Amino acid sequence: MWIAFTLPAIAVYAIVGGLIVWSSVAYRRRDPAIVQAARFHENPPLEIAWTVIPILIVGGLFAITYPAEHHVENLVVSPDEVVQVVGFRWSWRFLYPRRHVAIDAKEGEPPELVLPAGRTTEIRLTSSDVVHAFWVPAFLFKRDAVPGRVNAFDLSPTKTGSYPGRCAEYCGTFHAHMSFNVRVVAPDAFERWLAERKSSS
């Protein structure tokens, strides 16, 4: 999607910028005696072209955007895991309702959302005070956390590792400190982690 939007944008920028430079050079006033340039009226082929071409570009981008958006918005009927994510000033809380596990930030450390690799986890995102935004740059995904509303989406990470996340919506004084980590682990490691969390709570 990013490539599909970027390449036409570069092409349009090059055409428009090129025409501006060419016009400023080709039609600059050479004779000081000439005050008003020649006027031209009505060029139907040109007017049709600069109307139809943008419509076709926008239509093409819409045609490739809709399936991608539908895929992102689609929820699995029976997800493997469910995590409730609550944003608040100035941190995050991760609740695993099926496993009776809650994760909060430790002193001086951001909270950590642990997900199993190769499984689909439904995230139910909300906020307890103001609008926040759940953003994991490595996942190329961002979604707003709105008070009084639950935004549900699926995450299906395939690679294990640790990925930083942060609030991408300015939410007040300590917005810059509102970060978290997402750790993707193998399914068996995920089960062991849950067992440890239950035993320590």
Kindly provide the b/e burial profile for residues 46-70, where b requires at least 16 CB atoms within 10 angstroms of the residue's own CB.
Answer: eeeeeeeeeeeeeeeeeeeeeeeee
CA-based end-to-end distance of the chain: 43
pLDDT at 185 over 90: yes
**The listed CATH number (2.60.40.420, 3.10.20.310, 3.30.360.10, 1.10.3720.10) that belongs to domain 81-200:** 2.60.40.420
Helix (H, G, I), strand (E, B) or coil at 121: strand
Domain boundaries, the chain: 2-73, 81-200
Quote the pLDDT of residue 39.
Answer: 72
Q: What is the mean pLDDT of the chain?
A: 91
Per-residue pLDDT tens for 151-162? Answer: 999 999 999 999
Give the model confidence (pLDDT) of 30-81 as tens digits.
Answer: 777 766 666 777 888 989 998 999 999 899 999 999 998 888 888 999 999 9
What CATH number belongs to 2-73?
A: 1.10.287.90
Q: Name the band, by pLDDT with cuts 50, 70 and 90, for residue 86.
A: very high
Instruction: Find all residues with CB under 8 Å of 162, minimum gap 6, and list them.
Output: 181, 182, 183, 184
pLDDT tens digits along 92-116: 999 999 999 999 988 889 999 999 9
Q: What is the mean pLDDT of residues 9-19?
A: 94
Percent of the chain with pLDDT over 90: 70
| pLDDT of 166 strictly over 70 | yes
> Rounded to the nearest 10 degrees, what angle do helices 44-73 and 2-26 cross at?
160
